[in-house]
Structure 1
Amino acid sequence: MNTKTLLFLLLLPFALLGQQTYVPDDAFEQFLINEGYDDVLDDYVLTDNIKDVSFLPMNNLGIQDLTGLEDFTNLNTVRVLGNPIQSIDLTANTELQYITLGHQSLTSLNIDGLMKLIRITLQDSSLTTLDVSNNTSIKYWV
C-alpha cells in the first residue's frame, strides 16, 4: 500500500464526521438539543445542523456564553432575553437583520459590520455605549 492511500484511509473517518462547532455553554447546547439541532450534550454540534437556522429565540435559559453562535451563518433574527450574558459578539453573523437583547448584565456588544441590520432593541440592559456608526442600514434602534 502506498503512502497516499494509507494517508487517505487514515484521514477518511475525520472527513466523514463533518465539521463541528464548539458550544461550551451547557445551557446553550441544551437549547440546541431541545430545538433538534443537536442530540448529545458534549460541547459540540454539527455545523451542518445549524448553518441554515434563521431564527433563535433564547429567552430565560441560563445561557452565559454564546460561543458557537458565529457558525449560524444564515441567522436573520436573534432574541436573547433574561440570560446572564455579559458579552456578545455578533460580527460573524452577517445575515442578521433583527436583534433583541435585554434583561441581563450585558456590558459588551459587538455588531460592527452587520450591513443588513435593520432593527436592534435593547431592553433593561447594563450596556452603556454601542457603536452603530458602521451599521448604516439600521432603521430602528431602541
Structure 2
Amino acid sequence: MKKAYAIVALSLFFLAACSKSDEQPNPNEDAYLHIPDPHFETVLVEQGIDTDGTVDQQMLRTDAEKLTYLDLSPSGKFGDIADLTGIEGFVNLKFLAASGQKLEEIDLSANTQLDTLYLQANYLTHIDLANNPNLLLVNAESNELTSIEGLSEATQLKKLYLSFNNVENLQLDNPALELLHMGQNLLTSIDISGAVNLKNIFLISNALTTVDLSQNTLVETILLSDNAIQNIDLSHNSNLTHLYISSNVLTSLDVSNNQELIDLRADRNPTLSCIKIGSGQEIPTVSKSDYQELNTVCE
C-alpha cells in the first residue's frame, strides 16, 4: 500500500512539474513580432528591415526596434497593406508614412516617439493619438474619419492635415499649431480658440455658419469659401493677408482693420452688397460679384 501511495505521489509531482513547464513563456514569442499582412511584411523584406528575408508572418523584434524612419507608401507594387499589426514593435519610430493603402484601423499607442505621421488616402474612420505627444505633423487627408482623439496631447503639433474626411465637430487645444487643413469635411462647428499660433486656416467646403477667430491674432490666411457663414468678426486679425470667403450667406463684411490684406475673395454672397474697407485701404486682388461694392461706409 505504501508503495502505491509513493507511486501516486511521484506521478502527481511530475504532472505538476510538467504543468509549470507548460506555463513558461516561449522565448521565441518575445523575440519575434507577428506580421500577419503579407504585403506589409513584403515591404519590410524588400527594404531590408526584416533581416530574415522571408515572408513568414514574423520578424525579429530587434529589427523593428532599430528603426526611427519607416516609409510604407511606395508599396503598391507589392499589394496594398490592410493590416499594420506588428507596428507596435517599432517603438522607436519617429517618422511613419503609410499613405495610399487599405487601412481601416491603426493602433499607434506603442509608438510614443512619433513626430511625423502620414496616413492619407486610406479608409480610416477613427484615429486615437493620445499616446503620441511628440507629434509635429499629422496628415490623414482623404480617409473616412469621423473623429480623431488625443490631439490635445500633442502640444508641439505644428501642422494638421485632415481635409476630405467626414468630421462634423472639432476642438483644437494645440498652442503650437500653425497650419490647419480641414476642407471638404462635414463641419458644423469648430473651436480653434486654443490654437493661438495659427497662421493658415483652410476650412473650405464645410457646413459652418460662423467661426470665432478672436484668439487667432497671428492668422495670415483664411479660406472659408463654400460654407454657410452668416457673419464673421475679423477685428482681431490685423495680420490677415488672404481671405477667401466666397459662396457663403454673409450679410456684412468688415475688413477695415485688416490693412495687410492683399487678396480678398467675397463673390457669390447673395445678401452681401457692401464690403467695408478702411480709409485709403487698397487691396491689390479683389474678387467680388457685380452687385457688391467696397466702401468706407456700409449701411
Structure 1 length as normaliser, TM-score? 0.83
Partner Cα separation in structure 2 for residue 49 and residue 122 of structure 1? 27
Match of 2:70 in 1: 56
* Runs (5+) with no aligned partner, structure 1: 1-13
Alignment RMSD? 1.8
2:111–2:131 Cα contact (<8 Å) kept = no
Measured at CA, do residues 43 and 140 of structure 1 come closer, stay the same or move farther in structure 2, by a change above 3 Å?
A: same
Match of 1:43 in 2: 57
Partner Cα separation in structure 2 for residue 88 and residue 16 of structure 1? 25
Partner Cα separation in structure 2 for residue 55 and residue 90 of structure 1? 15
User: Which of the two has greater strand per residue?
Assistant: 1
User: Which of the two has greater helix per residue?
Assistant: 1
Match of 2:31 in 1: 19
What is the Cα deviation at residue 123 of structure 1? 2.1
Higher relative contact order (CA 8 A, sep 6+): 1
Name the amino acid aligned to 2:46: N
Partner Cα separation in structure 1 for residue 104 and residue 29 of structure 2? 33
Match of 1:75 in 2: 93
1:18–1:46 Cα contact (<8 Å) kept = no
**1:121 paired to 2:135:** no
What is the Cα deviation at residue 17 of structure 1? 9.3
Equivalent position SS for 1:92: coil
What is the Cα deviation at residue 128 of structure 1? 2.0
Identity %, equivalent residues:
28
Equivalent position SS for 1:136: coil
Equivalent position SS for 1:141: strand
Partner Cα separation in structure 1 for residue 129 and residue 148 of structure 2? 9
Name the amino acid aligned to 2:85: T
1:21–1:44 Cα contact (<8 Å) kept = yes
Partner Cα separation in structure 1 for residue 159 and residue 58 of structure 2? 35
Measured at CA, do residues 48 and 129 of structure 1 come closer, stay the same or move farther in structure 2, by a change above 3 Å?
A: same
2:101–2:122 Cα contact (<8 Å) kept = yes
Equivalent position SS for 1:21: strand
Partner Cα separation in structure 1 for residue 29 and residue 84 of structure 2? 23
Partner Cα separation in structure 1 for residue 28 and residue 44 of structure 2? 22
Measured at CA, do residues 40 and 123 of structure 1 come closer, stay the same or move farther in structure 2, by a change above 3 Å?
A: same
What is the Cα deviation at residue 125 of structure 1? 1.3
* Runs (5+) with no aligned partner, structure 2: 1-25, 162-299
Structure 2 length as normaliser, TM-score? 0.41
Which stretch shows the higher mean deviation, 21-30 or 111-120? 111-120
In the alignment of these two chains, the number of paired residues is: 129
Name the amino acid aligned to 1:23: I
